[in-house]
Amino acid sequence: MSNKDEYLLKVEHLKQYFPVQQGFRKVPLKAVDDVSFAIKPGETLGLVGESGCGKTTVGRTLLRLYEPTAGKITFDGDVIFDSGEEYDEKGNVIVGADGKPIRHKKIDENMLPYRRKMQMVFQDPYSSLNPRMTVEDIIGEPLDVHKLYSTKAERREKILELMELVGLNAEHAMRYAHEFSGGQRQRIGIARALAVNPKFIVCDEAVSALDVSIQAQVINMFEDIQKKLGVAYLFIAHDLLVVHHISDRIAVMYLGKVMEIADADELNENPIHPYTLSLLSAVPIPDPETARKSKRIVLEGDVPSPLRMPSGCPFRTRCKYATEQCAKERPQLTDRGNGHMVACWNK
């Protein structure tokens, strides 16, 4: 790495707003609103939350598939995006005498050199593969783009090595994507992501479209690849059992914001935020006796619209612990010991 930072990826105050037309004006839909976290080399950070909370948007924004609205992204010691805002210790943008945010010089790096180091495995193995290309051409396309071979024989050799790594046979090389099952298609997508030997992969619901038995195979394969290649993952999912199994640390998102971050075992055994408690109470327990004794924490009300966010804490409209302070001011992530970060006034 180009500096002595212990983190491979650092995300600070990341925001992703989408303009939505309402009548005669455009309103910002706050899909990701002030998210910060960091990932070490070879580490897996699990990102969980209910559908629509902004998990996938975080992954795509990190890779600049969506252009970030604001924030700072540092990868491998290099700042690849910085919108220039200055923040105080509470995470608020510092405003000058003219009422406008104080900015330093904006940094907007060309992403092509980083595409080799940062890759993505998409959620849907059916729509993320080109139906007109053979498996060999799908996996070989990143090699072509980045010119990572000198002869056709070397290209084919690399493709066959990648296919073997993800559990595909050499005779599959000349087939098309529609001839494969969902699990095999996802393996093709993983091989394509690994073709450029990346340091970091965003796994966006990479196993949610697969059968349970196939899920286990693909998760084990992700772990084997991590041991062999030392790649870091942002593992996005809504299945807490899967995330707990594969992750070193877990971040819990709600309505575009991170509510809690902790080591996987710590979060599972000692959840603090009311939203995390509710999510964990919904995880099925295989033992009938334990399941009967456990209490399900059912959240009341609906998730607010990202177009009309509640003031203060985004979770307060569904939280039984909510107070006046929760409505007035948004809580920041604070360390409750051993790096267990929680954004809550009352827990």
For residue range 131-168, list pLDDT tens digits in order: 999 999 999 999 999 999 999 999 999 999 999 988 89
Domain that holds residue 304: 274-342
- Inform me whether the pLDDT recorded for 293 exceeds 90: no
Residue 311 within a domain: yes
The residue among 164, 197, 230 that closes a domain is 197
Number of domains in the chain: 2
Average pLDDT, the chain: 89
Residues 265/55/316/347 CA torsion (nearest 10 deg): 20
Tell me the per-residue pLDDT of 79-97, one tens digit each, with 9 for 90 and over. 999 998 887 776 777 877 7
Bridge partners for 334 per DSSP: 342
- Inform me whether the pLDDT recorded for 201 exceeds 80: yes
* Amino acid 291: pLDDT: 60
- Inform me whether the pLDDT recorded for 4 exceeds 60: no
* Amino acid 226: pLDDT: 94
* Amino acid 297: pLDDT: 74
Average pLDDT value for residue range 276-284: 84
Highest mean pLDDT among 30-34, 237-241, 247-251: 247-251
- Inform me whether the pLDDT recorded for 22 exceeds 60: yes
Whole-angstrom distance, CA of residue 227 vs CA of residue 132: 34
Residue 241 within a domain: no
Average pLDDT value for residue range 50-64: 92
Take residue 171 and report the two structure tokens written for it: 């005779």
Residue 307 within a domain: yes
Average pLDDT value for residue range 95-123: 83
- Inform me whether the pLDDT recorded for 206 exceeds 80: yes
Residue 318 within a domain: yes
Start-to-end CA distance of the chain, whole Å, equals 38
Share of the chain above pLDDT 70, in %: 95
Q: Which residues contact 322 (CB under 8 A, 6 or more apart)?
A: 313, 316, 346
* Amino acid 290: pLDDT: 65
* Amino acid 227: pLDDT: 93
Residue 230 within a domain: no
- Inform me whether the pLDDT recorded for 46 exceeds 90: yes
Residue 51 within a domain: no
Bridge partners for 18 per DSSP: 29
What does residue 319 show for φ and ψ, rounded to 5 degrees? -105, 130
As a three-state string, the secondary structure of 193-220 is HHCCCCCEEEEECCCCCCCHHHHHHHHH
Average pLDDT value for residue range 207-212: 80
The residue among 173, 197, 221 that closes a domain is 197
Whole-angstrom distance, CA of residue 91 vs CA of residue 106: 19
The residue among 162, 177, 197 that closes a domain is 197
Per DSSP bridges, beta strands 249-254 and 257-263 are antiparallel
Lowest mean pLDDT among 82-91, 119-128, 163-172, 215-224: 82-91
Average pLDDT value for residue range 212-229: 87
* Amino acid 2: pLDDT: 43
Residue 66 within a domain: no
Residue 283 within a domain: yes
Share of the chain above pLDDT 90, in %: 59
| Cα angle 228-36-116, degrees, rounded to a multiple of 5 | 40
